[in-house]
Amino acid sequence: MSFTGRVAIITGAASGMGLLSAQELAKAGAKVLLTDVDAEAVEAAAAGIRKDGGEALGLQVDVRKYDEVKRAADMALQKFGRIDILLNFAGGAETRVCNCHKPFHELPVDVIDWGLDVNLKGAVYFCHAVMGAMIKQKSGVMINLGSVTGVEGSAGAVNYSAAKSGIIGLTKSLALCGAPHGVRACCVSPGPVLTRPGMANMKTRLGRAAEPKEVVDLILYLCSDKAAFITGSNYMIDGGRTCGGMD
């Protein structure tokens, strides 16, 4: 799959699957704008891609702040002239990220707000910021990261599950808005992925967690011309976890 001449914006790109996606897209010829709330890490990630011969920029962005999101979209247009791909990776379970492991009814409101703002509103903001450019150029694809918890629910991560369910609805609605203009939207919902040690303990039918590249390979396929007739769908990549019967 070649992405020569394509321009991609990746959120949460300083580490994990966001960084790996940026690296793989750059290797395949894309110009990439990496965004992350960690300014030092995202610039280092972009510098690493440039060192390997790719074309990359790093930009600090807090996805909860629309002015920063809009600045990223404007930078991509100014530096590269177009926006072909948006990958919304930024997110995380608020109980883990905020280190607040309490039952849902005992969670502080600021923890609830963080989870909804980062996991759902951030994706809404970025899709809003790039869609006009995609409609104008009559092409583009937005990939939103869902989660297995958005389908099966989670007593321990109520907010996260709700936000990821919302991502599925967002994707379907974006697909409807974009279809008359050649703009696609897809959701990828992973089960456990080996981006951190704790994921290895989550059960799947295949008896293991996914390697990050297995998820990224699916995402790159959906971004490519090979997937030109795919839009509005949610793709489970969960080792059969949502087939049911997992204790």
Q: Give the alpha-carbon dihedral of 16, 242, 229, 141, to 10 degrees.
A: -30
Please tell me which residue in 66, 125, 160, 235 is annotated as part of the active site: 160
Split the chain (247 residues) into runs of 10 and give each run's mean pLDDT.
Answer: 96 97 98 98 98 98 98 98 98 86 92 95 98 98 96 91 97 98 98 84 89 97 98 97 77
CATH code assigned to 7-240: 3.40.50.720
Give pLDDT, residue 93.
84
Which pLDDT does position 177 carry in this prediction?
Answer: 98
H/E run at residue 21? helix 16-27
The single-letter code of the amino acid at 239 is G
Q: What is the DSSP letter of 69?
A: H
Determine the distance from the C-alpha atom of residue 208 to the mean position of all C-alpha atoms in its chain, rounded to a whole number.
Answer: 22
Residues 179 and 31: their CA atoms lie apart, in Å, by 24
CA angle 200, 204, 208 (to 5 degrees): 40
Instruction: Return the pLDDT at 245.
Output: 66
The pLDDT of residue 199: 78
| Whether residue 160 lies in the annotated active site | yes
User: In this structure, are residues 230 and 186 in contact, taking their beta carbons and an 8 Å threshold?
Assistant: yes
